Structure 1
Amino acid sequence: MKISTIPVPSPLSLWTTVRSVGAFNVACSFAALWAFVKVLKAFRWRLKTTQLRGPPRTSFIYGVLHDLASSQDSAAMYERWATEYGVAYMIPAVFGRTRVVLCDPRAIAHFYARETWTYVQTPLSLILLEASIGRGILWSQGEAHRRQRKALTPAFSNAAIRKLTSVFYDSAYKVKGAWDTAIESSKDGDAVIEVQNWMNHISLDTVGIAGFSHDFGSLDGKRASVTEVFDTFGNNQQASAVNQVLILFASAVFPTIITKIPTKRAKLFNKLSVTMGEISNDLLIRSRREKDLNVSERDEEKSIIGLLIKSEAQDAELHMSEEEVVAQMKVLLLAGYETTSISLTWALIELSRHPDVQTRLREELLAFGADPTYDQLKANLPYLDAIVHEVLRLHPPVGEFTRLAAADDVIPLSEPVRMVSGELTDSISIAKGTRITISAAAINRSLAIWGPDAKEFKPDRWLSEDGISGKAKEVQGHRHLLTFVDGPRTCLGKDFAIAEFKTVLSVLVKNFVFEMRDGLDTPVEVASGILPRPRVVGEDGIGVPLRVRRYE
């Protein structure tokens, strides 16, 4: 070959090659550094965290998380593992990660006492909450959470809820009127009514009037945009297996892209966020204009909307930004719609499955006479109270919680557990970065905690001191339940929700008899709404058709 024919690279191409090699080396260095940091963290985690036993990994990629996500009863899985491995154990998670599961009342009390400071929301939770409802009280942590909670607390006092009881009754009697009409038009003296949508609309209209002095009119058949979005969730079927896999993968590796995965459910959540934001802004603007009309300043400042407007002032002791104010409104709309409607639906299902319990409740209500006041609902109707809390025990609207340890900690146990080494320990060390899971549904229905009848719908357990087992009394949540969690993040609207629950149930049971449409053994499953909801097997969406007739 002649020398003149050998290609000689130009200076520009040489410089490009050098730059590309340099960039490649830099990228490799960063990758190596990232891997080194991950290895160090993993090594530190193993040194600082008590290594507990637990179930084997069923998937190399997903651990056991896909099994839990696709189960109709994940609480039973958690309870089964607790029986086998003890009151604290580890479960394999995505890509070799591990979670600690607590099933011990003493450990759970310690955990909740430190929540928002030592045990905080996971990055994925923060991303999802901010995308759907903003930086409100559910999103905030530490000092921000304390400030926001303190600003809202007066709106949920006994005195404030006492004034709202008439709103609860108004919604219940609207449903009574509509059902009376449906039964009158029936030839058989009864009607098959899809009760879950009615419970949804009771909850939405009630929180609109009680919280924001706004009637959405869903009980009157009005189709507000928020009603349509909420109802759409009920008609959205469970996420496909592919979607579940994508979500589990993204949440473990790239949580920031979780809201960008174009699933039908993600699109619904985005639409819900936009719709609630528009409505919250409209309500806020209207309320600012009407601030001095028809309501005394003292009453206004104790209402939810009044407190939020007051907190906007720059000189307010517990100041909230406009972004935070709108976020609180979105939280209250969503919580007011979802949780109480789910509990009311479960209550009607359980009463339909247990006619003797339904009859006994009706007898108590009829013997009492006139519609009870707020204070009478709390103190003078023990069987109603027992049924409400038995529904809340068996069917908590939010079944489990996962938090991230923001600092090293030691969690005490009420009984020792066996470690991987075979030794026993009565406390477990937790390293910063550990994920902790508590299944409220598993604790509420645990045979070890509530006794051999834990899985039964048995309201009588609440009527005597002996009805609650000694182990259950160690659970420090409301009435020994984790339904409203515990500690600094105890549900702020707990008393509001229970008062509404009791009011609506008292009106409906006093006036109607409920039966499962297809008999006592009609199977009911859990479907996917915004939160998990009951559904009669074979029905579309979240259908719960019951046979309803007037009580004569």
Structure 2
Amino acid sequence: MAEGESHRRQRKALTPAFSNAAIRKLTNVFFDSAYKCKGIWDGMLESHPEGVVINVQQWMNNIALDSIGIAGFSHNFGQLDGKDSDVAVAFNSLGGDDRNIFTAFIFLLSPYFPFLATLPTKRNRVMRKLRQSLSNISDELLERTRKESQGGVEEKSIIGLLIKAENAKTDLTLTQEEVLAQMNVLLLAGYETTSISLTWALIELCRFPEKQRKLRDELLSQFPSSDPTWDQLMTTIPYLDGVVHETLRLHPPLVMTTRKAAEDDVVPLSAPIVTRDGQTVSSISVAKGTTVSAPIHLMNQTEWFWGPNAREFYPERWLEPNFGEKNEVQGHRHLLSFVDGPRTCLGKNFALAEFKAALSVIIRNFTFEFEGPEPKIEKHISILPRPKIAGQDGAKVPLRVRRVE
């Protein structure tokens, strides 16, 4: 992880690639992936008007991986075209059913003890294959982008824009190693988080069919035969915005973040607390070097800010006229799902556009419901925790899908 001046330089170099203007040019990529999924599902439903049971988590994975491949790297992983890739295999392996405590222990500790990454475990072999695959993609992208830049071809992908900036010869230029590191981050952030969020949104919309209908009605009334533009996605579809942000509030893909104090500090508390020894304190002293954890999932659901229904899926809260007046919690729209401060997620608008585009297509065209009574939803431990229906083998969420008539 980059720190200090290196982090500031890399972040400054990345910022233009995640500007609204850059993301606006990528919106069609998100829609294209969603429509490929729609076409495949239409074929599956052709002879099954009563609907079919589909593991939606796998398909959300496919949409997210193909989208981030093209928009992020100008590389088509081809998951929605029936292809497979080392990257997809690696992610599926890391999120599989390997419950071996020893290999999981090594995987978790290897960032702190690098020699553990050299041990011949299954996870280490998968990670080496993933790194090699990304390195190959990086090499291809470097070569192609340099050739295209000489021919005046416009580059739209996130990493491609960074590579083209090499020609500027400024102090913001990233090395090839830094580009590869950013590819790893972008792949994890753009694939895992989006596919998890889309799956959670479908689960919640199955739990509340009336909210699913409300969202579909909004989308079909505004866009019966066309897709929203990027600007419309981000500003003029209020209930879609509410569903997306409520999903991110209740089910943040990253449930906790940690920081290390760069200097001694005193953190004021919003309200005094009583310590175990009976003292009442209104601030906490934090020494330099102290690791501080922020429980994102708990802060996103605290009742003192979100109200007595803080643990309920209630998209309507985002439409309340006085909602924006709250200021006790910082972060994007008072959420910590994208973290906050100097390390706030640069790609939040990229992620929101991808999430909204994909959800708008599948909800306009299909209905979703549980097969039988509402099942118990569990967490499946993967790179990031994924939802699964209890009793399923792995991170599977089978739902009955029907075509909207």
Short-chain TM bin: over 0.9
**2:269 is equivalent to residue 413 of structure 1:** yes
**1:240 to 1:452, Cα distance in 2 relative to 1, 3 A:** farther
Question: In the alignment, which of 233, 254, 276 is matched to residue 398 of structure 1?
Answer: 254
1:350 is matched with 204
User: Is residue 233–residue 353 contact of structure 2 (8 Å, CA) maintained in 1?
Assistant: yes
2:280 is matched with 424
The CA deviation at 1:371 is 1.4
**Equivalent AA in structure 1 for residue 88 of structure 2:** T
- Specify the SS of the correspondent of 2:210: helix
**Equivalent AA in structure 2 for residue 324 of structure 1:** E
Partner deviation per Cα, 1:309-362 (whole Å, 9 max, x = no partner): 234358323122221112112221222111111111111111111100000001
Tell me how far apart the structure 1 counterparts of residues 68 and 110 of structure 2 sit (CA, whole Å): 32
Question: In the alignment, which of 185, 208, 222 is matched to residue 83 of structure 2?
Answer: 222
**2:402 is equivalent to residue 549 of structure 1:** yes
The CA deviation at 1:535 is 0.9
What is the TM-score with the length of structure 1 in the denominator? 0.69
Give ranges in structure 2 of 5+ residues lacking alignment: none
Tell me how far apart the structure 2 counterparts of residues 164 and 313 of structure 1 sit (CA, whole Å): 23
Partner deviation per Cα, 1:193-239 (whole Å, 9 max, x = no partner): 111111111111111211222222111111122122222233234x4
- Specify the SS of the correspondent of 1:170: helix
Question: In the alignment, which of 482, 500, 517 is matched to residue 336 of structure 2?
Answer: 482
Tell me how far apart the structure 2 counterparts of residues 464 and 198 of structure 1 sit (CA, whole Å): 33
The CA deviation at 1:468 is 7.5
1:528 is matched with 381
1:57 is matched with none
1:112-131 aligned at under 5 Å gives the runs none
**1:432 to 1:340, Cα distance in 2 relative to 1, 3 A:** same
1:511 is matched with 365
- Specify the SS of the correspondent of 1:168: helix
**Equivalent AA in structure 2 for residue 551 of structure 1:** V
Tell me how far apart the structure 2 counterparts of residues 170 and 207 of structure 1 sit (CA, whole Å): 12
**2:3 is equivalent to residue 141 of structure 1:** yes
1:295 is matched with 153
**Equivalent AA in structure 1 for residue 380 of structure 2:** A
* Number of aligned positions between the proteins: 403
Tell me how far apart the structure 1 counterparts of residues 107 and 190 of structure 2 sit (CA, whole Å): 27
User: Is residue 235–residue 540 contact of structure 1 (8 Å, CA) maintained in 2?
Assistant: no
Question: In the alignment, which of 141, 151, 155 is matched to residue 283 of structure 1?
Answer: 141
**Equivalent AA in structure 2 for residue 539 of structure 1:** Q
Tell me how far apart the structure 1 counterparts of residues 75 and 102 of structure 2 sit (CA, whole Å): 41
- Specify the SS of the correspondent of 1:336: helix
Tell me how far apart the structure 1 counterparts of residues 143 and 321 of structure 2 sit (CA, whole Å): 51
1:270 is matched with 128
Percentage identity across paired residues of the two chains: 56
**1:420 to 1:256, Cα distance in 2 relative to 1, 3 A:** farther
**Equivalent AA in structure 2 for residue 351 of structure 1:** L
**2:22 is equivalent to residue 160 of structure 1:** yes
Question: In the alignment, which of 391, 398, 401 is matched to residue 538 of structure 1?
Answer: 391
User: Is residue 159–residue 179 contact of structure 2 (8 Å, CA) maintained in 1?
Assistant: no
User: Is residue 106–residue 117 contact of structure 2 (8 Å, CA) maintained in 1?
Assistant: no
Give ranges in structure 1 of 5+ residues lacking alignment: 1-138
Q: CA RMSD in A?
A: 2.3
**Equivalent AA in structure 1 for residue 269 of structure 2:** L
Tell me how far apart the structure 1 counterparts of residues 348 and 149 of structure 2 sit (CA, whole Å): 27
User: Is residue 280–residue 330 contact of structure 1 (8 Å, CA) maintained in 2?
Assistant: no
- Specify the SS of the correspondent of 1:513: strand
1:183 is matched with 45
Tell me how far apart the structure 2 counterparts of residues 371 and 347 of structure 1 sit (CA, whole Å): 20
**Equivalent AA in structure 2 for residue 545 of structure 1:** P
**1:240 to 1:312, Cα distance in 2 relative to 1, 3 A:** same
Tell me how far apart the structure 2 counterparts of residues 458 and 345 of structure 1 sit (CA, whole Å): 17
Question: In the alignment, which of 320, 326, 340 is matched to residue 464 of structure 1?
Answer: 320
Tell me how far apart the structure 1 counterparts of residues 316 and 242 of structure 2 sit (CA, whole Å): 7
**1:344 to 1:293, Cα distance in 2 relative to 1, 3 A:** farther
2:217 is matched with 363
The CA deviation at 1:533 is 0.7
Partner deviation per Cα, 1:411-438 (whole Å, 9 max, x = no partner): 1211112234422221111112322111
User: Is residue 193–residue 253 contact of structure 2 (8 Å, CA) maintained in 1?
Assistant: yes
**2:66 is equivalent to residue 205 of structure 1:** yes
Tell me how far apart the structure 1 counterparts of residues 82 and 104 of structure 2 sit (CA, whole Å): 35
Partner deviation per Cα, 1:101-129 (whole Å, 9 max, x = no partner): xxxxxxxxxxxxxxxxxxxxxxxxxxxxx
**Equivalent AA in structure 2 for residue 527 of structure 1:** H
